[in-house]
Structure 1
Amino acid sequence: MASIVLLLIGSLILTPKSCSSKPISQQKPLDSDHIEFALNLEYLEAEFFLYGSSGHGLDVVAPKLAEGGPSPIGGKLAELSPIVKDIIYQFALQEVGHLSERVPLDLSKSSFAKVMDSAFGRPLVPPFDPYANDINFLLASYVIPYVGLTGYVGANPLLQNATSRKLVGGLLGVESGQDAVIRTLLYQADNQKLLVKPYGVSVAEFTNRISILRNKLGHGGLKDEGLVVSKKQGSEGSVSGNILAGDKYSLSYPRTPQEILRIVYGSGNESVTGGFYPHGGKGRIATSYLKN
């Protein structure tokens, strides 16, 4: 898959449209720009899942993909049960197949703790540790793939090339599956009345807080939902269980690149880096906002 992505980007970059002298902010993004932008999220997922399930990242698993970029900050082996470790490692290898050159990432405990503090509007004591146990790691995982999923949904209708649409459709299928598994495991934990220790907060409440935060940072309206919602907001206005997030027609929500950057930077501003990307994302789309 990595070679397919690289070949596609390379072939699309060589099209006449990419030869415009206009700055990127005044150009219509190419298919290759949308795909290259998506790789920022793929790297975040690959490294986080690799470290959490195996204790090491691309430097060990796929050294060639690690060339040209620094190792992530703070990634470590999580205290996972065998079944969750197996699932997350499968996710990790799936993500490795999507990659090209590495982007600088912050996977430290403090990075995830800041997300959870922002979600609750106060510092959690002790600070949230994504690597502490199954529930914490799954909650941290809840933060990531869904953002990529909404990005693919948003990008797909903008693509001009059939090959690009086929590739993004394939990537979207894997992202959707990963998000569904994560939500299912968390939904099961919430059904068992498991609380997130030592905070005494339900799993569903954690997901709701994270989703509210992402909606707030994205500035794009309601595009994110936790595991439990009001019946009015649930499927067909009939259920509060929300194992898959979707709009009133049960269709996946779309997000723009600007919305995604606002969320993963944790700043609510596509031009202000931070969060998981201390130096910002790579590619013409992401860097164009930094220049602005």
Structure 2
Amino acid sequence: MAARSCLYALVLFLAFQSTMIQANIVLTPPQCRPVLASSLERIQFLLNLIIYKAEFFLRASTGRGIDDIAPGLVQGPVPVGATVAALDNDTRRIIEELGLICVGHISEVAGYGVLRAQLYSRVNSTLSPYTFTVGRFYNLSAELDNRLGGCGMKDEGLFVPLQLGAENRTTSNVVPADVNSLAYARYEREILGIVFGNGNATRPGAIFPAGFNGILFRRIVL
């Protein structure tokens, strides 16, 4: 009887474990699953977090908010209950600078996302005086950047194959990013090769025929 009882207990244990494994797979709560969203929607979501950081840092350090720094940049109600924090002067300056940096990020994420969204809405329009469309032009410029940068595909057109879309879920491409929705990084030599128009970071040309100023550029050239 003891052996049979142990066998029953083992069977019940295995059944319980199997049920728990299935529950973990099937009954994952919504908050633990990715939300299907467009690139523009992801930008809007991200902006909420950046706006929060900007308001937090600015109001804690100076008592002013984004509307005081950059009127009209964001929409929505003014934060309620924000007060200036008790900070020493050095800390206050650092926190204020962090807030100003966040305001700059909001401007960048908002002019760039909106610009690509506008281009996306006109993707099939002919780009006068040429005979090709906005989408084709953007694809060509992305291909050129990638070729001049020389470090693989880091710029993308307004449409991409599904396997290159955000989370492998979309072919629209308002924000260029990899399949994990992470922005591509370009480094100094890549950027120089693109803006010089020749793929060579040490040979100025195109829109910077005289090269760059600064120690970093001189170090690259030498």
TM-score, with length taken from structure 2: 0.52
Structure 2 counterpart of 1:245, which letter? P
Matches within 5 A, 1:1-292: 166=98, 171-190=104-123, 193-290=124-221, 292=222
Q: Are 1:265 and 1:272, in contact at CA under 8 Å, matched by a contact in 2?
A: yes
Deviation of the 1:174 alpha carbon: 2.7
> 2: CA distance between counterparts of 1:262 and 1:169?
29
Which blocks of at least 5 consecutive residues in structure 1 are unaligned?
A: 1-93, 95-161
Deviation of the 1:260 alpha carbon: 0.9
Q: CA RMSD in A?
A: 2.3
Residues 214/237 of structure 1: CA separation in 2 closer, same or farther (3 Å cut): same
> 2: CA distance between counterparts of 1:282 and 1:177?
29
Q: How many residues align structurally? A: 128
Deviation of the 1:181 alpha carbon: 1.6
Which blocks of at least 5 consecutive residues in structure 2 are unaligned?
A: 1-69, 71-93
Q: Are 1:280 and 1:287, in contact at CA under 8 Å, matched by a contact in 2?
A: no
Structure number with larger C-alpha Rg: 2
> 2: CA distance between counterparts of 1:234 and 1:209?
18
Comparing both chains, which one has the higher relative contact order based on Cα–Cα distances under 8 Å and sequence gaps of 6 or more? 1
Deviation of the 1:169 alpha carbon: 5.7
1:53-112 per-residue CA deviation (whole Å, 9 max, x = no partner) reads xxxxxxxxxxxxxxxxxxxxxxxxxxxxxxxxxxxxxxxxx9xxxxxxxxxxxxxxxxxx
Q: Are 2:163 and 2:179, in contact at CA under 8 Å, matched by a contact in 1?
A: no
TM-score, with length taken from structure 1: 0.40
Q: Tell me the percent identity.
A: 33
Residues 284/272 of structure 1: CA separation in 2 closer, same or farther (3 Å cut): same
Deviation of the 1:172 alpha carbon: 4.1
Partner of 2:78: none
